Amino acid sequence: MTDTPGIRDICGDEAARDHPVISKVATYWLGLNSGQIPRRTQFEFMDIYQEAPNLLMSERIASQTFTFIYCGTHVANNFPLDLTGKTFDPAKVEASRIPWFNYKKEALDGPCIRYGCDRLDWPSLDFDIILSGIFPLADDVGQPRFLLACLVFQNSADTSS
């Protein structure tokens, strides 16, 4: 996938951008509004229901404060807690050393699609890395306010060639 006329593509990790689950979400997202930031109302979980377990959606309610409005089952099972309905503010809580709030700020204030790979910094018996694709969604007046993240958990021992 390359830059589209309407939004930048920031790729910190080619494996994340090329992963079949993340790639399918990216293709769906790009098709919603011809490469421009789609509105939240255009996005339908049922359109990509097979990828829904890997999705995490949040809404920015203040400068760096986010409420999680959807946490797929695969994400909830591999995060330390189910994030659905939780509100996070980096000034009050730091849930991880992964710079999630920076990614969100970048995707919404940029705005851009962002792909990355981070090492998990919480105990996991099965996985030690997380691939991500982060996609902004706009509110009803066209302002970037929502973030759709597609998260794929992997074990680095299984992915090395």
Report CA torsion sign: 10, 12, 15, 16: negative
Q: Identify whether 161 is part of a domain.
A: no
Q: Identify whether 65 is part of a domain.
A: yes
Structure tokens at 140: 């009803």
127 close to 138: Cβ distance less than 8 angstroms: no
**47 vs 8: which has the higher pLDDT:** 47
Structure tokens at 139: 């509110």
Q: Identify whether 97 is part of a domain.
A: yes
Q: Identify whether 62 is part of a domain.
A: yes
Q: Identify whether 1 is part of a domain.
A: no
Integer CA distances (angstroms), 130 to 22, 30, 158, in order = 12, 22, 13
Look at residue 110 in the predicted model and tell me its pLDDT.
Answer: 86
Look at residue 65 in the predicted model and tell me its pLDDT.
Answer: 86
| Overall domain count for the chain | 1
The position carrying tokens 């991880």 is 96
Q: Identify whether 3 is part of a domain.
A: no
- Adjacency order of strands within the sheet including 144-154: 8-11, 112-119, 129-138, 144-154, 55-62, 65-71, 87-88
State which H helix or E strand residue 31 sits in.
Answer: helix 20-32
Measured from the Cβ of residue 93, the count of other Cβ atoms closer than 10 Å reads 9
Q: Which of 53-62, 77-86, 93-102, 141-150 has the lowest mean pLDDT?
A: 93-102
pLDDT in tens, 3-44: 455 788 999 999 999 999 999 999 999 999 887 899 999 999
Q: Identify whether 129 is part of a domain.
A: yes
CATH code, 50: 3.30.450.20
Look at residue 125 in the predicted model and tell me its pLDDT.
Answer: 72
pLDDT in tens, 69-116: 999 999 998 887 778 888 887 676 666 677 777 888 888 988 899 999
Look at residue 145 in the predicted model and tell me its pLDDT.
Answer: 95
pTM given for the model: 0.89
Per the structure, the complete domain to which residue 65 belongs is given by: 8-155
